[in-house]
Structure 1
Amino acid sequence: MSIDCSIESVLCDEFSVISYPALRYFDGHGHTKPYRGPRRASAIVSFLKRAGRPPVTVLDEEKAAAFQSVDDTVLIAHINPRDEHVAAALKTIASQFQDRASFASVDTPGTTTVACYNNRDGQKFTLSDLAAVDALSKLVESCMAPLIGEFTRANEMKYLQSGKSLVFFFATSSGEREAYVDKMRPVAKMYKEYLSFVTVDADEYADFAAPLGLTPGVFPALSVQNPMYGQTFPYASGAEISPETVGAFVMDIVQGKVKPWDGQSRQGRGRAHDEL
């Protein structure tokens, strides 16, 4: 069912719809699940598959291996029956994050351990020390976090206030942005402790390019920003954007070989490396 919020404003307010498009899943038992993922068909289909499963799927060891690949983010807990508190915590966390990840449990006679698979980026996170109250939620959040995220109205402040420098990639088409993510993952993984790599819809954020030292309307484009110190480093306009060149550009910034943008000239119009 589709709803026009300009007409059904009361209904949209009831379900906390503040931006469009927005998806809400009704399970037929009086519960509603909001969709908070990217606006891509594949991601929406994954959400619907998750919604049709129980919050925690109970598996045996044989089926656990196959379950690892059912979703972009999959958490499988191998729980010793004596650790009932872990099973209870898992149900709570699964109910909280089921719209974005898939969860399963397996009985084990050994030590209770938890593994989380970020299949999109090829990463695995494991946890055996479950003493901390927030151990599971931190594991899920770390596992779900993409190496290269999508900069949106919903998460922009989280990125800007993260304390990390940001590598912005602007492109008008989703295909260009997805291709950039696929090839740039190794670089993002190398610098993930210090940098957040994000893609930006250049049409939606058309007014954001100029403050980053980029020429408005000229895309794809890339710029590095350190929000903490107010420094911006536009990448050369028209230069090749590849893992090798972007990795070298980031290293040049770290080594002080590239000067921050002065806020007036369009450094991105020339080759930034010509100054080195």
Structure 2
Amino acid sequence: MKVMELLISALSATTVAAWAHINEDDFRRAIGGHNLALVAFIEPSTAPSQALESEWTIATESEKTLISVDCASAASLCREFGVISYPALRFFDGHGKMTPYRGPRRASAMLSYIKRAARPPVTNLKDEKLQKFQSGDDYVVIAKINPQDEHIKSAYKTLASQYEDRLSFGLMETSSATMVSCFNNKDSQQFTLSDFTAIDALPNLIEGCLAPVIGEFTRANEMKYLQSGKSLVFYFAPSSADRDGYVDLMRSVAKMYKEYLVFVTVDTNEYGDLAAPLGLAPGRFPALSVQNPMYGQVFPYPRQKKITAELVGGFLMDIVQGKVQPWDGTMSADESGSPHDEL
């Protein structure tokens, strides 16, 4: 056997496919019989499906209720469940109800979702369980409701049924004034509500709590970000670990500038084409750029500079002070040698 053939044979012997798809019969058994199941309908040739693979594999190592279906070989099954784009993540509650999974496509987020799904929408709490419950999920809501405020209790339970896929809801009785608190444990933020006169007070509390200090920019939410009236700080990276590291690194800076700037990460496996309009050379990641949608200005971060909280914070201040000229749009900052070499 030739050397190249030997190498190919060795590689083939040690390569194991991460996806472990099930056939149609096993799928129907998995979603029946009162079983919980989070299902990924994927098409192996698509970049988004490939991007999900590593996170899905990590999650399945500790949670067996996650299953996947290859829509390339089970097209009719995927059409039956309304799958029109890939990957499509759907939760089956074992009683015939199917719900789209709208959370982050990260192993930790999907595992947290499964734990929430196994509980009732609202967990009745006692004092000794309060602290443990409060720290048990990325986003936790705890309502301390006076028995006289039955209308608030009813509204709270209705809200919990709408948001149970993203937050954990707890409830306890109090003889004091009714108060609802939402804990964003990812960003170490707490939001508290005691005035319930506004009809949208509770939903606004939840939405504010869910808003991350540094979000993930996608086609689905781009208009929300672009219409926020604030400039955007984009960070492009192909690795979820890299993007998570950036969030940890820049969280304090994002909090400092949150009144004026929105910080977002971009998965270049899915949205790498967004880099070029922001003055960045395609394929050269990680990279950072600032966009002012109101004035149509773009400020690519100099490639030769490290991305640190101190340096990025200084770059943002230089933009505010007019020390950085916006990109002229003729070529990427990388190709032109960066217009900010002097910074």
Scaled by the length of structure 1, the TM-score of the pair is 0.93
Query: Residue by residue, what CA displacement relative to the aligned partner does 1:166-195 show, whole Å, maximum 9, x if unpaired?
Result: 100011111111110111100011111221
Paired position in structure 2 for 1:103: 169
1:47-66 equivalences under 5 Å are 47-66=113-132
Q: CA deviation at 1:16?
A: 4.8
Paired position in structure 2 for 1:83: 149
Change in 2 beyond 3 A, CA 1:193/1:18: farther
Paired position in structure 2 for 1:178: 244
Partner SS, residue 110 of structure 1: coil
Match of 2:228 among 150, 155, 162: 162
Paired position in structure 2 for 1:31: 97
Partner SS, residue 151 of structure 2: helix
Match of 1:151 among 217, 230, 234: 217
Q: How far apart, in 2, do the equivalents of 1:67 and 1:101 lie?
A: 12
1:161 partner amino acid: Q
Change in 2 beyond 3 A, CA 1:16/1:197: farther
Paired position in structure 2 for 1:221: 287
Runs of 4+ in structure 1 off by over 6 angstroms are none
Query: Residue by residue, what CA displacement relative to the aligned partner does 1:177-220 show, whole Å, maximum 9, x if unpaired?
Result: 11101111000111112211111112322221111001121111
1:137 partner amino acid: P
Residue 137 of structure 2 is aligned to residue 71 of structure 1 = yes
Instruction: Verify the 8 A CA contact 1:235 1:272 in the aligned structure 2.
Output: no
Partner SS, residue 126 of structure 1: strand
Change in 2 beyond 3 A, CA 1:66/1:227: same
Percent of residue pairs bearing the same amino acid type: 66
Q: How far apart, in 1, do the equivalents of 2:176 and 2:134 lie?
A: 20
2:315 partner amino acid: F
Q: CA deviation at 1:267?
A: 3.1
Q: How far apart, in 1, do the equivalents of 2:318 and 2:339 lie?
A: 10
1:112-131 equivalences under 5 Å are 112-131=178-197
Residue 302 of structure 2 is aligned to residue 236 of structure 1 = yes
Instruction: Verify the 8 A CA contact 1:79 1:113 in the aligned structure 2.
Output: yes
Report the number of matched residues: 276
Worse-superposed segment, 32-41 or 174-183: 32-41
Q: How far apart, in 2, do the equivalents of 1:18 and 1:189 lie?
A: 38
Q: CA deviation at 1:264?
A: 0.9
1:197 partner amino acid: F
Worse-superposed segment, 6-15 or 148-157: 6-15
2:223 partner amino acid: M
Instruction: Verify the 8 A CA contact 1:239 1:271 in the aligned structure 2.
Output: no
Change in 2 beyond 3 A, CA 1:113/1:242: same
Change in 2 beyond 3 A, CA 1:74/1:14: farther
Instruction: Verify the 8 A CA contact 1:169 1:221 in the aligned structure 2.
Output: yes
Partner SS, residue 270 of structure 2: coil
2:302 partner amino acid: A
Partner SS, residue 114 of structure 1: strand
Q: How far apart, in 1, do the equivalents of 2:143 and 2:78 lie?
A: 37
Residue 100 of structure 2 is aligned to residue 21 of structure 1 = no
Change in 2 beyond 3 A, CA 1:149/1:6: same
Change in 2 beyond 3 A, CA 1:134/1:169: same
The alignment yields a C-alpha RMSD, in angstroms, of 1.8
Q: How far apart, in 1, do the equivalents of 2:125 and 2:279 lie?
A: 52
Instruction: Verify the 8 A CA contact 2:302 2:341 in the aligned structure 1.
Output: no
Gaps of 5+ in 1: none
Q: How far apart, in 2, do the equivalents of 1:49 and 1:22 lie?
A: 20
Q: How far apart, in 1, do the equivalents of 2:184 and 2:313 lie?
A: 23
1:118 partner amino acid: N
Q: How far apart, in 2, do the equivalents of 1:40 and 1:101 lie?
A: 16
